[in-house]
Structure 1
Amino acid sequence: MIAREWKARCPKQHEQGFIDYLYETGVKETSETEGFLGAQIFNRDLDGNAEITLISYWKTLECIKAFAGEDIGIAKLYPEDDKYELDPDRHVSHYKVVENRWV
């Protein structure tokens, strides 16, 4: 299993609106892609802004390519991101999941 991590920052006033938008775009699109196993969204306060982290889980790197394109290290951004004054990471990180245990 592969975990794909992406982060963005936005002003606090856009925090919930952007999280809702993230569900409508990135999470919806990934969940419709073969090999998608699930996702988590985290948020925290960082320097007076909101930092949002999306971690999606995938069967293989090839499955991620079906969503992200050939260069899976480049973040997939959406047209209305600017509406939320988003400061997105342009790159994503991928991790081999070594342990996956939920209590």
Structure 2
Amino acid sequence: MIVRTWRGWTRSSQTSDYEQYLLRTGFQGYIGTPGNLGAYFTRREAEGDRTEFFLITHWESWEAIKAFAGDDPTQAVFYPSDDEFLVDRETTVEHYEVFASST
């Protein structure tokens, strides 16, 4: 299994709107891709007037990740209205190979 992570930040006043947007776009994209084994969308208050979103997804293979992300799986996937919400974002993602799990 491979874990893929990404971070983005919104203004705190947009937290709820961005959550709903993520559920319609990114969440559906992740769980709708064969080989996705799960998705966790998390958030926390950050410094200043910001909320940090941390997305964690689990994949069965690199092929499944590429089916979602394209030929360069290190690049983050963005959706058309992301610029309306994100005040900062990671443009690349991190991948980790799982070597032990309790689930």
Fold in common (TM above 0.5) = yes
Determine the C-alpha separation between the residues in 1 that align with 2:22 and 2:8: 11
- Give the residue type in structure 1 aligned to 2:26: G
Partner of residue 92, structure 1: 93
Partner of residue 22, structure 1: 22
TM-score of the aligned structures, taking structure 1 as reference length: 0.92
Determine the C-alpha separation between the residues in 1 that align with 2:63 and 2:46: 33
TM-score of the aligned structures, taking structure 2 as reference length: 0.92
Q: 1:99: Cα distance to partner?
A: 2.5
Partner of residue 37, structure 2: 37
Partner of residue 73, structure 2: 72
Determine the C-alpha separation between the residues in 2 that align with 1:99 and 1:17: 36
Determine the C-alpha separation between the residues in 2 that align with 1:86 and 1:27: 20
- Give the 4+ runs in structure 1 shifted more than 6 A: none
What RMSD, in angstroms, separates the aligned Cα atoms of the two structures?
1.1
Q: 1:27: Cα distance to partner?
A: 1.0
- Give the residue type in structure 1 aligned to 2:37: L
Structure 1: segments with no counterpart, 5+ residues: none
Q: 1:19: Cα distance to partner?
A: 1.5
Determine the C-alpha separation between the residues in 2 that align with 1:8 and 1:57: 18
Residue by residue over 1:8-39, the C-alpha shift from the partner in whole angstroms, topping out at 9 and shown as x without a partner, is 01100111211111111111011111101010
Partner SS for 2:99: coil
Count how many residue pairs are aligned between Structure 1 and Structure 2. Answer: 102
Structure 2: segments with no counterpart, 5+ residues: none
Determine the C-alpha separation between the residues in 2 that align with 1:97 and 1:23: 25
CA contact (8 A) 2:8 2:86 kept: no
CA contact (8 A) 2:14 2:85 kept: yes
